[in-house]
Amino acid sequence: MFNEADLTALAITLKLAGVTTLILLLLGTPLAWWMARSRWRYKFLLEAVVALPLVLPPTVLGFYLLITLGPHGPVGGLMESLGGRPLAFTFTGLVIGSVIYSMPFVIQPLQNAFEAIGRRPLEVAATLRASPLDRFFTVAMPLARPGFLTAAVLGFAHTLGEFGVVLMIGGNIPGETQVVSIAIYDHVEGMEYAHAHWLSAGLLLLSFLMLLTVYGLNRRFRIMQS
Amino acid sequence: MNRKKIMILKLLVALALMLSSSLSYAAEIRIAVASNFTRAMMGLVQQFEADTGHKVKLVFGSTGKHYAQIKNGAPFDAFFAADMKRPKLLEDEGLAVPDSRFSYALGRLVLWSPETGYVDSAGKVLSDGSYYHLAIANPKLAPYGRAAKEVLQSRGLWKAMKGRAVRGENIGQAFQFVHSGNAELGFVAYSQVKYPGQSIIGSYWEVPQTLYSPILQQAVVLKDTAVTRAFIKYIKSKPALEIIQDYGYDVP
């Protein structure tokens, strides 16, 4: 069924998706909140940047990341001058790549959810003397709950399915940067089809269950709200 | 028939003749080529096209992928693989033209860094150097990766390399890892650093061929046509062998 290396790859994949989703929720929430509320003229520029990973081939992202993280690139050069080790081929490097790659999948649902609330509930809360922070945590966040769920699950699932970026910057080190999609690819290329089947089916099931959760829960939220 | 009609008829006949001649004399063939042989093959094809007027379309990729594609009916006339395993399999499975399998090049493995003076001429840097990452091609998939593993094993370094050896999907990616500086050094193909008539950039150790089993690259014919035959004949000719050597391969 699964050999030890496959299970390790699975564990790394889940860890990567988890860490990535957590970081994206932490960074993405304030950004999405701001993007939903701001009337800045040039907001569309930022929106275009956030959506960019949706349309770019992952190989483009991976290629640029490889160059940026490398010792001749800006990030890699900075790391080196600070005495750190290069980030490519490390788990940290994978997290950086995944955060960029899955960014639109977290930020867009959040932004949509915040926009859907409208100004009204928050204005009401303000007249009841709720502070801006209070308004966000007690009014906006509960109302945007379906958005948070969608963002978290999509970010997680999308990172699970990541291939091109990790192929380019991961270096395929077993136990460190070898994720499931790469392990599957290796099995297929190496003509170990039975292993490939097990892992692929596992990933398929996992992804399906997660999407099922989102759509099922979102339906419940809608019923609750109406 | 008036003059105008005759004129049109003449034109049509001329057109038909032109078309038929171009069809019968300058045919096009399609060849799947292992990525590591890209530059050498382009050099060869350029010469072949200039000599014969035939067109050769090249499809580059990993040998594993090409093999799977051919098994599923990909329309290639010949297959230049990175190893001998896949051509042999195609032959055994009856997908190749019988007795068409031959070795066209012998790969040479080098330990390379783009930095001058980094890799010494005996490869001592492997055990003495302080580096984070050594790039190799995936030993399970790529012949150059398998050779790199054998060299590390012969030095007793294979176990110690766990976590330091980064594996490219193929030798092209391994080269990219080193070239971009993300890995300090790596086992790459000599053909990747050797350009005809130019000196090699960086530093390298040409690994003695006693340390790894030969990287024999073989080809098979998949469709027996006159043009394919002409092309294979050209590949085996002396001028072609010289081109192959110019690009950093040994010839069998």
Q: What is the DSSP letter of B250?
A: B
State whether B181 and A167 contact (CB < 8 Å). no
Report chain A residues whose CB lies below 8 A from the CB of B183. 89, 171
pLDDT at position A197 is 92
Close Cβ partners of A183 (under 8 Å, ≥ 6 residues apart): A5, A6, A9, A199
Is residue A132's pLDDT more than 50? Answer: yes
Average pLDDT over all residues of chain A: 90
State whether B132 and A86 contact (CB < 8 Å). yes
Look at domain B109-206 and name its CATH class.
Answer: alpha beta
* Contact in structure between A161 and A181 (CB atoms under 8 Å): yes
State whether A85 and B65 contact (CB < 8 Å). no
Question: Please, which pLDDT band fits residue B92 given cuts at 50, 70 and 90?
Answer: very high
Is residue B15's pLDDT more than 80? Answer: no
Characterize B150-184 residue by residue with b for buried, 16 or more Cβ atoms within 10 angstroms of its Cβ, and e for exposed.
bbbeeeeebeebeeebbbbbbbbbbbbbbbbbbbb
Question: Please, which pLDDT band fits residue B16 given cuts at 50, 70 and 90?
Answer: low
What's the rounded mean pLDDT across residues B40-49? 95
**CATH code assigned to B3-106+215-246:** 3.40.190.10
Is residue B83's pLDDT more than 70? Answer: yes
* Separation between Cα atoms, residue A107 and residue A28, nearest integer Å: 5
Is residue A225's pLDDT more than 80? Answer: no
The better pLDDT of the pair B27, B188 is held by: B188
Close Cβ partners of B122 (under 8 Å, ≥ 6 residues apart): B205
What's the rounded mean pLDDT across residues A143-161? 92
pLDDT at position B1 is 56
**Do β-strands B134-137 and B203-206 pair in parallel, antiparallel, or remain unpaired?**
unpaired
Is residue B6's pLDDT more than 80? Answer: no
Please write the tens of the pLDDT for every residue from A72-113: 888 888 887 887 777 888 999 999 999 999 999 999 999 999
What's the rounded mean pLDDT across residues B27-43? 91
Q: Where in chain B is the domain with CATH 3.40.190.10?
A: 3-106+215-246, 109-206
What's the rounded mean pLDDT across residues A151-177? 90
Does B34 contact A at CB distance below 8 Å? no
* Of A38, A172, A77, A113, the residue nearest B163 (C-alpha): A172
* Of B56, B60, B59, the residue nearest B171 (C-alpha): B60
**How many alpha carbons fall within 13 Å on the CB side of residue A172?**
25
* Separation between Cα atoms, residue B54 and residue B40, nearest integer Å: 18
Say which range, A216-225, B14-23, B45-54, B78-87, has the weakest mean pLDDT: B14-23
Close Cβ partners of B9 (under 8 Å, ≥ 6 residues apart): none
Q: What percent of chain B has pLDDT over 90?
A: 70
Hey, what are A177's tokens? Answer: 């940067």
Report chain B residues whose CB lies below 8 A from the CB of A168. 173
Q: Residue B98: helix, strand or coil by DSSP?
A: coil
Report chain B residues whose CB lies below 8 A from the CB of A188. 68
Which of A19-23, A87-91, B181-185 shows the highest mean pLDDT? A19-23
Report chain B residues whose CB lies below 8 A from the CB of A172. 138, 166-169
How far A17 CA lies from chain B's nearest CA (Å)? 21
pTM of the predicted structure, to 2 decimals: 0.79
Report chain A residues whose CB lies below 8 A from the CB of B140. 186, 189-190
Is residue B102's pLDDT more than 80? Answer: yes
What's the rounded mean pLDDT across residues B94-117? 95
DSSP A119-178: SHHHHHHHHTT--HHHHIIIIIHHHTHHHHHHHHHHHHHHHHT--HHHHHHHTT-TTTT-
* Separation between Cα atoms, residue A171 and residue B49, nearest integer Å: 39
Number of residue pairs across A and B with CB atoms under 8 Å? 69
Residue of B nearest to A189 (CA): B64
Does B182 contact A at CB distance below 8 Å? yes
Does B175 contact A at CB distance below 8 Å? no
pLDDT at position B24 is 47
What's the rounded mean pLDDT across residues A202-221? 88
CA distances for B44 relative to A71, B75, B100, B242, B248, angstroms: 36, 21, 19, 10, 14
* Contact in structure between A32 and A152 (CB atoms under 8 Å): no
pLDDT at position A172 is 86
What's the rounded mean pLDDT across residues A208-213? 90
Average pLDDT over all residues of chain B: 90
Q: What is the DSSP letter of A42?
A: T
pLDDT at position B114 is 94
Report the amino acid identity of residue B222: L
* Separation between Cα atoms, residue B116 and residue B134, nearest integer Å: 17
Please write the tens of the pLDDT for every residue from A34-62: 999 888 999 999 999 999 999 999 889 99
pLDDT at position A190 is 77
Which domains are present in chain A?
4-37+50-225 (1.10.3720.10)
pLDDT at position B103 is 97
* Contact in structure between B216 and B86 (CB atoms under 8 Å): no
What's the rounded mean pLDDT across residues A160-164? 90
Q: What percent of chain B has pLDDT over 70?
A: 94
Is residue B243's pLDDT more than 90? Answer: yes
Please write the tens of the pLDDT for every residue from B124-181: 999 988 899 999 999 988 899 999 999 999 999 999 888 899 999 888 899 999 999 9
**Which region, left, alpha or beta, applies to residue A112 given φ > 0 means left and ψ of -120 to 50 means alpha?**
alpha
First-to-last alpha carbon distance for chain A, in angstroms, is 46
Close Cβ partners of B199 (under 8 Å, ≥ 6 residues apart): none
pLDDT at position A79 is 82
* Of B98, B232, B211, B104, the residue nearest B158 (C-alpha): B211
- ipTM for the predicted complex: 0.74
Is residue B2's pLDDT more than 90? Answer: no
What are the backbone angles phi and psi of residue A2, rounded to the nearest 5°? -95, 135
**Helix or strand run (H / E) with residue B65:** helix B63-71
The better pLDDT of the pair A27, A214 is held by: A27
